[in-house]
Amino acid sequence: DSTSKAAITQEQFLSLMPALEKQLGKFKSIIDTTTKTESNFQIIEFGCEFEKFSLTAKITVDSMMRIAGFYFLPKASKSEYIIPEYVNPAKFKEIEVEFGKPEWLVHGTFSVPRRVEKPAVVILVHGSGPNDRDEAIGPNKPFKDIAWGLASKGIAVLRYDKRTKEYGHKMKPEQINVQNEVIDDALEAIGFLQKREDVDTKKIFVIGHSLGAMLAPTIAGQSKQLAGIILLAGPTRKLEDLILEQTEYIYSLKNEITGEEKKFLADLKNEIDSLKNKTLPSSSQLIGGPASYFYDLGKINQVETARNLSIPILILQGERDYQVTMTDFNTWQKEFSNNKNVSVKSYPSLNHLFMKGEGRATPEEYNKPGTVDREPVMDIITWIEK
């Protein structure tokens, strides 16, 4: 349709698959296809198997059979969920909930401890991309692990599907920004919990992961109703810098970089330089979205925003994380070394999902079934109780 046509050129469209193959290996096959109808749109999802990873290509078609939107997201695994050893399902119940504005109604799961009167409550805020409520990637569900781990120890947890997961088909790419993609629904979640009588409304916390951690200080600043925030793999740098660093890291895992890959990396560097110089057109596509999204996100200074908060902050980091690295953690540590309100801790063997591994982390690691490690979950519980 005219909106999609304006958002991406033919040349940019044709470059998408080569760019994906550079990160994920050669495309192998379509695994499965599902179709559903919502309002006047048909949504078709293609399971795409690459050498290193599987994605879902989600394509929205309007009533005139024109493509109205498309994006890629990690393919959910059909493998059975592994219950972490620190979880006791008998200690809590789960309730399906909905909240928010009618046109963007949020659907989620509320994990409520049994036999705990007015528990503290946590809201989980996702990282980049159209994540579901479990922040599922491959067979792993880190948000479900955290929610069940906390609920087993008497802390209620609200997790929900991200707006771009549920309503991506009706969100125009050039109009998506971090306020309407992430922050607004986090604020709606806070408002939803404040109206409940089964939790302590003075003890509402936000746990943000990756992009969610970057935005947690802004959420706290806009809400002014939180008792504290927890940053899991919280970036201190710009998203475009992380994308470049991640791409360079993935290439460094290979024995040899091809000429085509070198060109892709050089083009990405040039585009990011143009973005920094504000000469890249807002409609231009970078990995992950239009330049307009990066321009909007670039207005946020998460370190400065955190510095202006008076609530406690807990910052946790996996030392094997190649997506948000110890460079970011060291900045948090340095900037808040004299602030008694801020606690920081890193874990030598954990990756971006706070799961254990050995050696250099790789994208393939996310395809291995695992659970969020016990130590950060217990550290979060201890900190909230304190």
Of the candidates 301, 308, 375, the one whose C-alpha atom is nearest the C-alpha of residue 336 is 308
Query: What tokens appear for 338 in the block?
Result: 């004299």
Q: Is 115 exposed, middle or buried (0-12, 13-18, 19+ CB in 10 A)?
A: exposed
Is the CB of residue 233 less than 8 Å from the CB of residue 242? no
Is the CB of residue 104 less than 8 Å from the CB of residue 186? no
Of the candidates 345, 354, 357, 377, the one whose C-alpha atom is nearest the C-alpha of residue 137 is 354
Measured CA to CA in angstroms, residue 137 lies from 103, 152, 246, 368 at distances of: 27, 23, 17, 10
Is the CB of residue 204 less than 8 Å from the CB of residue 123? yes
Q: At what angle do helices 259-276 and 239-252 cross, to 10 degrees?
A: 170
Catalytic residues: 210, 321, 352
